[in-house]
Every structure is written in C-alpha cells, then in structure tokens.
Amino acid sequence: MKLTRTKQYELPFAVLGLATTPDGANAYAACMDGSVHAVEMATGKKEVFEKKHSSYASGCVLLPDGKTLISAGYDGTLLWHDVATRKCIREVKAHSFWSWQMALSPDGRRVASVTGQYIAGGWKYEPAAESEPSVRVYDTASGALVASYSHTPPVLSCAFSPDSKHLAAANMMGEVRVWDVQAKGDKPVSQWTSPDFTSWGTTKSHHYSGGIYGLVFSPDGNALLGCGMGPMGDPMAGNGKMTWQRWDWRSGKKIDQIKDGQHGSGLMETLAFHPDGKHFLMAGRQAQGTWNAAVFSATDGSLITSWDSKSRLTHGRFTADGKSLVASVITGAGKVKPGQPWGAMGRVQMYSVEG
C-alpha cells in the first residue's frame, strides 16, 4: 500500500477535530480558536460556521444525511450546526470541564462525548474520582441526554461499535470500559486495564501522564484497538514508545500489539480502518524516529508502510471507496518576529491510496 499526498489547504488555526463526507469531497475541521471550518477538497474553498466555541473546538462529527454537523469543545459544549446555512441550530452544555473527544454511532442516532480533569486524589497521585459523569451520550435528533456513564477521569477517547450497540471509552490510566448503550443502568459489560499507555514521572516532575488517545472497533465488531504512547521516565519529554494494542473487548484479553523495532517515539492519537478491513492507520506526533503515520496489517499487525508528515497528524479518515485518505494537521508556526502575527498552523490534507 502506498499513500501520496495530493492536496493540502491551510487553515489559520491548528485543527483538533475532523469530519468528512463519505466521498471525501468535503471536510469539516474543528480548530483551536473555537471555530469550525468547511473545506471543499477539490478547490480548497473554505467557509467558517457562524457560531464558535468559547475555547478550543476539540471534535466534530457529520450525521449520515450530511445535513447536520455536531462539534464539541473545551467549553464543555456540543453545538449542532446546519451544514447548508452554517448556522447553529442547537447548543447543549454537556460537561463542566473539557470535551476531550466525541464519537458518532454508525447509525447516526447517538453522539458521545468524554471529559474529566486529572486532579491528584491521594499521596500516590492517583486520579481523584470524577465530579460529574465522564461519559455522556445524546440523541442526535433532539439533543436529549440518553445515557451517563462513570469512569476514572480524565477520559480521553471513545468509539461506537459498528452495530451502534456498544460504546467504549478509555482514560489516562489505560483503563477501558465498554457499555451496552441499549441497556438500562451504567454498569459496563466489559472493562480492563493496560499498563502500557501510562507513565509515572521520575524526573523533573512526579505525576501520571499518557493514556489511550484513540479507539476504534474492528469492522467485524469483535476487536477494539487503542493507541497512545508507552511509558517514559520524563513526562515532559513526550518520547514514549509509539504504541497500539488490540483486544477482544468482550473478555479484555490482549490479542496483539505493535511489534518491537517497528516504532519510534511520540504520542499516537488517531486510528482508522481502511474500508477493506485488512489495514488500519495509526498517526500522531513524532518525538524521535522516522515516521508519525503508518499503515498496519489488520491480520497480523505487521507494519505495511509509514511516512513522516513533518507535522502532527490529529485525525485520518478514509473515503468509502478506500482510494483516498483525508487528514487534519497541526504544524509549527515557524519563526515569528516580534509584533507580527503567527502563521497559519492548521492543515487539511488529502492522500491518494494505492495498492
């Protein structure tokens, strides 16, 4: 498999969230100034949605009919936007803290958002208990709250199963929980902990860091993949092992993980399956090594291809035909002279996929 960048469009602010139409013709970018932008991928034409979040816009999802976009932000708010008019049609206060990540059920009926602040709960610096439900699920048609689930904060990632019946969420401590969204109550149907995504600082500062930043179910619904960064002694360095693991989510048993020698160091934050179900993408930011984005075999976990995008790749979305990948990017501002504005730090990219 070979991926080649074919298009790149600048946005004024770094991009934290990405949604796309199935054909990749249009992309929607949630940016660090709180704005959400629509990008026409053939021409690069850009339009900004009318209402901004009051803090970082952390994510966005597009409903299956293509008419409504829902965004989330560090203001703890979910905004419903009319795609045609770019106007906000609903605002829901989901959390008192940040929305770290959001996920849309494949049937388009539910949207989930996860939150939580890391506050030391004891002398061992273990996270304090949540002050509000860390996982909330809303009806996309009405905006009504349909479920609240407890987890240990901060909860950094979430994903729905292909049949829309289950929701998984993972936190900084490598704890994964899965709920049946059709059942009453908030007891998870499965939960487990992987110690391979969390660090305890032994130099400079002493606290936990890391976590599972990306989650995705396999297309057949039997496995769950998570990605992040392996342990490191200096939590400020950001140079832990790039890592992913795959689990049988019903039992929590680890099936596979990234192979030794196939990784560098840095935080991996996005996962996406190719439509063929035989490959998946993992990407993020590089600290050391030769790549920050790679495609792996879904059969045996081997590395198929990798590349260095020279910037932080926050999300990747394959088109329905599998021939293209749309990515959101954060790049450095470069040298900024005193009194001069920073350069554009956001990018939306398209890659062709061959083989």
Structure tokens at 199: 């660090």
Strand 77-82 to strand 88-93: parallel, antiparallel, or no bridges (unpaired)?
antiparallel
Residue with tokens 């949540």: 130
Q: Which of 290, 309, 269 is nearest to 59 (CA)?
A: 269
Tell me how far apart the alpha carbons of residues 271 and 328 are, in angstroms, rounded to a whole number. Answer: 13
Domains present along the chain, CATH in parentheses: 2-354 (2.130.10.10)
Which pLDDT score is estimated for 236?
A: 77
Tell me how far apart the alpha carbons of residues 193 and 344 are, in angstroms, rounded to a whole number. Answer: 39
Which pLDDT score is estimated for 120?
A: 94
Q: Which residues of 275-293 are buried (b: 16+ CB within 10 A; e: fewer)?
A: beeebbbbbbbbbeeebbb
Statement: the pTM of the whole predicted model exceeds 0.85 = yes
Which pLDDT score is estimated for 332?
A: 81
Which pLDDT score is estimated for 337?
A: 75
Structure tokens at 158: 């979430």
Q: In tens digits, what is the pLDDT along the chain, a chain of 355 residues?
A: 999 999 999 999 999 999 999 999 999 999 999 999 999 999 999 999 999 999 999 999 999 999 999 999 999 999 999 999 999 999 999 999 999 999 999 999 999 999 999 999 999 999 999 999 999 999 999 999 999 999 999 999 999 999 999 999 999 999 999 999 999 889 999 999 999 999 998 888 888 999 999 999 999 999 999 999 998 888 778 889 999 999 999 999 999 999 999 999 999 999 999 999 999 999 999 999 999 999 999 999 999 999 999 999 999 999 999 999 999 999 986 777 788 777 889 999 999 999 8
Which pLDDT score is estimated for 311?
A: 94
Q: Which residues of 333-354 are buried (b: 16+ CB within 10 A; e: fewer)?
A: eeeeeeeeeeeebbbbbbbebe
The two most distant CA atoms of the chain are separated, in Å, by 57
Which pLDDT score is estimated for 173?
A: 97
CB–CB of 68/59 below 8 Å? no
Which pLDDT score is estimated for 341?
A: 78
